[in-house]
Structure 1
Amino acid sequence: MKKNVLVVHGGGPTPVMNASLYGVVQEAKRHGDIGAVYGAMGGMEGILKEDLVDLMAIDENELKKLLSTPGSAIGSSRFPLTEEQYEEMAKIIGKYGISYLLPNGGNGTMDTCGRINRACVALGNTDVKVVGIPKTIDNDIAITDHTPGFGSAARYMAGTVKEIAEDVRSLPIHVCVIEALGRNSGWITASSVLAREKAGDAPHLIYTPERPFCQEEFLEDVKKLYDELGGVVVVVSEGLKGKDGNPIVEPIFKTERAIYYGDVSTHLANLVVKELGIKARSEKPGLAGRSSIAWQSEVDRDEAMETGEMALRLAILGKSGIMVGIERVETQDQSYETRFIEIPIDQVMMYEKTLPVEYINGRGNDVTEAFSKWCRPLVGEKLQSFINIKDIRREKQI
């Protein structure tokens, strides 16, 4: 009797979430005893509704488009589950002959992954192997060096900031405040540093949520740089908090886990105008940063696909109650190399990994070279360089 696979997506999509899905299908095709690879349509609700599609039945030419399709091709959700629904899902998994369950998502999904695993064990269905596939642009899952999805979001942020910086350099009359996603972790915000090619390049200021935001210091920093440069580019996290631990802009909507912040970039741009009398504007890329295939990192895409493959491989080997993790390998030539590790699921359930202190500078308005070194390999091909005639003129005295 053939064994079936079930993949379910949870939480916000990424530019490479579908690459992990593709990896699962490709790995399944290498094993003759695998029957169907079901995708739960619409996340966890898809299981409860028994809305499953067999991905093995899709033509390979179409299936390969998963590698360059943003979002989640099978849908996703943040559907809160009750204990009764976990039990119901375990029964449905048994009904469809699912031997391998592979939830793909972030902290919340890994929590769900652990709970489903326990529900299956409680029903005596110990033959079901549950292995989590990590996914989040926020890069805030514990233990793993980084998560599939982050590299592409980081590449998008760095590339976008680099392009905006050229606009500001061309007409240096204002301060531009760019807001990055990331809630309580500043990984995406910090990645904007890769827009710099040399000292003095934008972003000129970077503020992450790991340090309390000081309005007075922010205004001092902006004024000093504006007097020196004219145009200033600032990158801030949507989750900036003051010394009291509260968001600097009151959230406009909250759920059990998610917080929808107000426009931090607009607030700070308005602050610059009112307090300093300097023209300022805000930019908030938002979902564009997690849905851009144009800025997809090939390193991120390949690792996402391989993570999907590894998840099924481990499940077939009888592993369960784990998440696939990525670990860096030290090399003599300091080249980028990784290997996959097994992480017990209970070590990553609902735990947020934030930027370590050594990645943030003393004043809290920039990141360190240690962060740049860590992040640079994940974004793939080096960002395009732009001509700077002012520098050429200065160097060659033309």
Structure 2
Amino acid sequence: MIGNVIVGQSGGPTAVINSSLAGVYKTAKDKGVKKVYGMLNGIQGLLEERYIELEQELKSQVEVELLKRTPSSYLGSCRYKLPDAKDNSEVYDKIFQVLKKLEVEYFFYIGGNDSMDTIMKLSKYAASIGSNIRFMGVPKTIDNDLEATDHTPGYGSAAKYIAGTTKELIRDSLVYDQKNLTIIEIMGRNVGWLTGAAALSKGDDCEGPDMIFLPELAFDMDDFMLKLEQLQKVKKSVVIAISEGIHLADGRYVCELVDRTKYTDNFGHTLLSGSGNYLANKVSTEFGCKARAIELNTIQRSASHLASLVDINEAFLVGGAAVSAAIAGETGKMIILKRISTSPYQCITDVYDINKIANLEKKIPAGWIGEDGISVTNEFLDYARPLIQGELTPYMVDGLPRHLVYSKKKQ
């Protein structure tokens, strides 16, 4: 019998993060693991000794399949930043005491950049005290900003939702015979992978967004207003996609031009919201035309009704690959996806040193941004399009998707 497993979820949710959880659970059980524990609210919950036995919740293959179709974080999440061990070893002592109590030999954390920082710190501490517990990162983030991996589970489904929603908003904007501007503000912080996905809406039945503004390039307010003025001379309906993280040449986010209280989370991330409204109000005031901002914000993170089948399958795959790698002896690593072919699309898994991933940020290659600075190239589209393919129909009950929900009342 193989030693016990514990798994947690951290950071923002996605439409497929629970498919990775299902992959960890099913692979661990298939390999003979006795118990699979789930941390409630990630590492923060573990410090408070809040966890469950997943065997008590996932009692059949039907429930595992339902979990794969359930968005957001089944176990709950957190944004808890582990301190450096040299500054606060008590926190690490507490974590390893709980893991010893549960007879855990394999630790898996599903998350993005900040979560990989947690895996890096825990694996280093384990080595320093001679612990044989193996720590593995399972990639997850709609932002697609993790280094080393071709892409991250969660991105494909969010990109599919953004492209579909952009297409629908463009149709909506064409209804009235009058000048109008629609600005779609899309998440992604300092990288434009999600905003670039709006370009996937272009096709025989849709011309796509007129301009795309990415955070990889500095945002020039005067140039923006000039380009828009010229565009409105030739077409009445204009649709623009902007990243929430667009910033001026001096480094200030456009959303910071709004007079409001600045908020940062435990990792020092600034709350980015309001750039679209700021620009829409400016355009409306200076040009006298109807302008509105649609802020997608968190809405694409849990849109499982439009999830990508490729994304769901790959999320499950990386969860299972993490278990296989840990049992084979790997630790202090993250599972990555390696693209071996785009047409036909093929990806395989591999392991990568967590120290070369944690706290780094993968941006869109400069060559994938159009020379005009307001579009993406065919290379970007060829990269992203395979990731949005296919659908996994939700289980429908009373006309709505059915979700698997952990209830604290069971405790």
Q: Which residue of 2 aligns with 1:252?
A: 262
Cross-structure match for 1:98: 104
Is 1:147–2:152 an aligned residue pair?
A: yes
Q: Which residue of 2 aligns with 1:76?
A: 77
- Displaced runs of 4 or more, over 6 A: none
1:382-397 matches, within 5 Å, as: none
Amino acid in structure 2 at the alignment position of 1:320: T
Q: TM-score, normalised by structure 2?
A: 0.89
| Matching residue within 148, 167, 170 for 1:162 | 167
Aligned residue among 359, 362, 368 for 2:368: 359
Number of the residue aligned with 2:407:
none
Give, in whole Å, the separation in 2 of the partners of 1:225 and 1:202. 14
Check conservation: 1:208, 1:236, Cα contact below 8 A: yes
Counterpart for residue 203 of structure 1: 209
The letter of the residue matching 2:215 is P
Report the equivalent of 1:276: 287
Please, which of 321, 328, 334 is the counterpart of residue 317 of structure 1?
A: 328
SS at the partner of 1:325?
strand
Q: Please report how far the alpha carbon of residue 200 of structure 1 lies from its aligned counterpart in structure 2 after TM superposition.
A: 7.5
Which whole-Å deviations, capped at 9, do the CAs of 1:376-396 have from their partners, x for residues lacking one?
0001149xxxxxxxxxxxxxx
- Paired residue type of 2:152: T
Query: Equivalent residue for 1:238?
Result: 244
Checking the alignment, whether the CA contact within 8 Å between 1:326 and 1:340 is kept in structure 2 is: yes
Residues 124-151 of structure 1 show CA distances to partners (whole Å, capped at 9, x for unaligned) of: 21x2111110000000000100000000
Matched, 1:341 2:350: yes
Q: Is the 8 A contact 2:81 2:114 kept in 1?
A: no
CA distance in 2, matches of 1:143, 1:172: 48
Higher mean C-alpha displacement, 7-16 vs 193-202: 193-202
Q: CA deviation at 1:2?
A: 4.2
Which digits, 9 at most, give the CA deviation of each residue in 1:200-258, with x for residues without a partner?
Answer: 71211100000000112211222222222210110000000011121122173123332
CA contact (8 A) 2:81 2:118 kept: no
The 1-side partners of 2:9 and 2:370 are apart by 36
**Which residue is equivalent to 2:191?**
185
Residue in 2 aligned with 1:385?
none
Between the aligned partners of 1:73 and 1:171, the Cα distance in structure 2 is 43
CA contact (8 A) 2:138 2:334 kept: yes
Residue aligned with 2:307, SS: coil
**Aligned residue number for residue 111 of structure 1:** 117
CA distance in 2 between counterparts of 1:248 and 1:42 reads 32
Q: Does 2:275 align with 1:264?
A: yes
Distance 2:124 2:195 in 1: 36
Letter paired with 1:15: A
Question: Matched residue pairs, number?
Answer: 378
Structure 2 residue aligned with 1:304:
315
Quick one: which amino acid aligns to residue 324 of structure 1?
A: I
Distance 1:326 1:355 in 2: 17
Structure 1: segments with no counterpart, 5+ residues: 383-398
1:252–1:261 CA contact under 8 A, matched in 2:
no
Return the alpha-carbon distance in structure 1 between the equivalents of residues 236 and 390 of structure 2. Answer: 31
Following superposition, the deviation at residue 172 of structure 1 comes to 4.7
Separation of aligned partners in 1, 2:199 and 2:99 = 45
Aligned partners of 1:172, 1:27: CA distance in 2, in Å?
57
Q: Deviations over 1:263-318 (max 9, x none)?
A: 01101111111222221111001111101111111110000001100000101111
Amino acid at match of 2:203: E
Alignment of 1:56 with 2:49, yes or no, is no
- Give the unaligned 5+ runs of structure 2: 392-411
1:88-119 Cα deviation digits (max 9, x unpaired): 21222122111111111001100110111112
Question: Quick one: which of 309, 324, 340 aligns to 1:329?
Answer: 340
CA distance in 2, matches of 1:135, 1:23: 13
